[in-house]
Amino acid sequence: MAVRSFTLKAPTPMPGWGLSFGIMLTMISVVVLIPMAVLLWRGFVDFGAAAMWDVVNRNRVWNALALSFRAAFVASLFNLAFGVLLAWVLVRYRFPGKRIVDAAVDLPFALPTAVAGIALTAIYAPNGVFGSVITQTFGIRVAYTELGIWIALIFVGLPFVVRTVQPVIEEIDHETEEVSATLGASRLRTLTHVVLPMLAPAALTGFALALARSVGEYGSVIFIAGNLPNVTEIAPLLIVIRLEEFDYDGAVAIAIAMLAISFALLLAINLIQIWSRRRMGAV
């Protein structure tokens, strides 16, 4: 007579599927879905699409939106290149002060953005340590210009790229590069055809995170930007101005415009990520 054997599942400290899904859905609803739904309801139902377009379709608003997304995109591109390089150096090389540099990468996470903005303004102002040298040597003003906005956004967005790419670089085996070299590939070809394709999905994720952070950045920018309408006025500042004027409908209209543009950009980046992963899988 056959004897059936029963095996008990190993206990796990994590909750089951039902409880986990319920907690996840609740947190996403409270933090993301409900606020977004209220924002859209206030804009499209209470205020109206035509009225929102009248608020957004003004030169001051378009200039602020263009500046915010242009500066965020340029800063994120810089962080994409420099962040990948910095992550590579931190993983692959040993040098004096490596731990200090590695810890300094996380400084924008811990430092209040207003403090960062004040510090950057003091350094890059026309009479600052770096600002005076740059102005006298090259005749270029940093603070109170779009260049100053780029520097502030680079500062706050760099850790997102570095910390996203760094674990992927740690998983790349040195033997992969050695095999490429033994097959006759140059260092440049190994970099472009072996290393970078493996880093592409993580690098795009870091770029998207840096872009999302930079678009909505406020505290570190307002001090170094100068906040001149149609010149160095960013969209988040324009929203704050509308709120201080008790123009809540105008603030909602600008916020929804930023939300729509951000969603389109992030969707495009996600599609590029999917394409790159499929391309790597096909290879």
**Alpha-carbon distance 229 to 233, whole Å?**
5
Say what the pLDDT of residue 31 is.
87
Say what the pLDDT of residue 9 is.
54
Top CATH class, 46-282: mainly alpha
Which residues, given as ranges, of the chain have pLDDT below 70? 1-15, 279-283
Q: Where are the domains of the chain?
A: 46-282
CA dihedral 222, 223, 227, 231 (to 10 degrees): -100
What is the model's pTM?
0.85
Say what the pLDDT of residue 189 is.
80
CA dihedral 269, 270, 271, 276 (to 10 degrees): 90
**Alpha-carbon distance 120 to 133, whole Å?**
15
Say what the pLDDT of residue 1 is.
47
Three-state DSSP class for 71?
helix
**Alpha-carbon distance 276 to 283, whole Å?**
11
Say what the pLDDT of residue 178 is.
73
Say what the pLDDT of residue 239 is.
93
Task: Residue 21: count other Cβ atoms within 10 Å of its Cβ.
Answer: 11
Q: Which of 222, 75, 220 is nearest to 147 (CA)?
A: 75
How open is the CA angle 244-212-39, to the nearest 5 degrees?
45
Q: Per the structure block, which two tokens stand in for 159?
A: 């850790």
CA distances from 40 to 43, 48, 134, 235, 257 (A): 5, 10, 45, 18, 11
**Could you give the count of Cα atoms lying within 13 Å of 126 in the half-sphere of its Cβ?**
6
Asked whether 221 and 234 are in contact (CB, 8 A), the reply is yes
Q: Where are the alpha helices (DSSP H) in 172-246?
A: 174-182, 187-190, 196-215, 219-225, 235-244
Say what the pLDDT of residue 14 is.
63
